[in-house]
Structures are given as C-alpha cells and as structure tokens.
Amino acid sequence: MKYISLVIPTFNEAKNLPLFFDEIEGIIDKSSFDLEYIVVDDNSPDGTGQVADNLKSQYPIKVIHRAGKLGLGSAVIEGFKMSDREIVGVMDADLSHDPIIINSLLNALGEYDIAIGSRFMDSSVVESWVWWRRLISVVGVFLIKKISRAEDPLSGYFFIKKSVLSGVVLDTKGYKILFEILVKGKWNKIKEIPFIFRMRKFSTSKLNYNEYWLFAKQVIGYSFYAFFRK
C-alpha cells in the first residue's frame, strides 16, 4: 500500500470541488493506494473553503484556510508541509486535469521519482486551448526543457516521492512549482504520461500579468541555479 497526499490549491472552486472528489474516488485504486486530500484555500469569496469542510464527512480531506490570495506555489508548499506521507502530488480543482491517468502516475513511482501528467506528448490532447495560452506554454516549455529535462516542466498535474524534496527549500510564489522541483529536487528518473487537458466547467483561469512576470523571473533565476549547480 502506498500512502499519498494530494494537494489541491483552490480559489473560487466551490462548484467544482464535489465533482472533483467524486471523479477521483471513482477511479483511484484503493487496494493499492491510500489517498488523502489537502485542500489549501486562499479565502475564496465563493465559499470554497466551507465546501471543502462540508465534504470531510465523505472523503479523507484536510483543509488549510489561508487569509487571502497568497499564490498557488505557496499553497502547494504549505500543503506539502502538512503531509507526513511518502508521496505527494498536485492537481487543479477546476476539472481540467483528467484523473483517468492517476493510477498510472502513482504506479510509475515504483520505478521513477517523479510522475508528470504531460500536455506535450504525441497522444496528449488539449481541449479548446486559446491560441495565446498555447503560445505562452509552448514558448515557456521550449525555454526550459533543457534545464528541467522534462517534456512538460510547467505541468500542474504531478506526483513525487517526498524524498525528492529532502533538504530542498522551495520558494515559488507563482504557478509553476514543478519547474522549481525539477531544477532543485533530488531525483534520477521521471515518467511523463499523456492526458487530456480538459476545458474548465465552472471557473476561469487564475493567470494574470503578475503570474507571467513571476514565471519570467523563475526562468532566469533557475537557469543560473542549474548552471552553477553543475
């Protein structure tokens, strides 16, 4: 049995959360995986945090209520710190990450240190991605693939062995915390699995100009980090 904490950063996902948990619970192999959920809510105005609290009676959920919108990266870091399990992962609550591959990702960690849901493999599918979002992602990935050694280093859908973070200080404020983990983490092998990146149902993208600026700083900073680490 593998013990896993799935960190779910949330902001205005009240309508999505019940569907999110119901979908994963219908797919996860409970004979092999003991999965707990850690919801980290940034004081969502739509009551997402309260919805998560209400769902505790149905699912193994822990909820962290934060004072405001402090950023996805810091939410993931806080969720990781709450976990005492051997494996931690991250998924978006907006239903864009198809959970059909979740068992494959977790099984991969028997041999690999990091398992990533990839949007950029031959059989990956991205539903109705507006051209400018796709351009930004493709350009961003092109810039950092050699640094990170991954096809989709900007994915928000991944699982890692907790040992990857041993002695590592994470400080990402923006959306792309996997990039920092790939650059700083202690790993030898990664597995990437294609999936369907789906259209959101009840929420909108949280990306804004500040997030793109934070990402640009990441690219520069971690490029130097990777260079001097060699």
Residue 172 has what pLDDT? 82
Which of 175 and 204 is assigned the larger pLDDT? 175
**Six token digits for residue 204:** 């909108």
**pLDDT per position as a tens digit, 107-161:** 999 999 999 999 989 898 887 666 555 665 666 666 677 778 899 998 999 999 9
Instruction: Give residue 202's domain range.
Output: 2-229
Number of domains in the chain: 1
pLDDT band at 211 (very low <50, low <70, confident <90, very high): low
Closest Cα partner for 11 from 88, 89, 67? 67
Q: For position 218, which CATH number holds?
A: 3.90.550.10
Give the mean pLDDT of 13-32.
Answer: 97
Residue 55 has pLDDT above 90, yes or no: yes
pLDDT in tens, 165-182: 999 999 887 667 999 999
Q: List, in order, residues 6 or more apart from 4 with CB less than 8 Å away.
A: 33, 34, 35, 36, 85, 86, 87, 88, 89, 106, 159
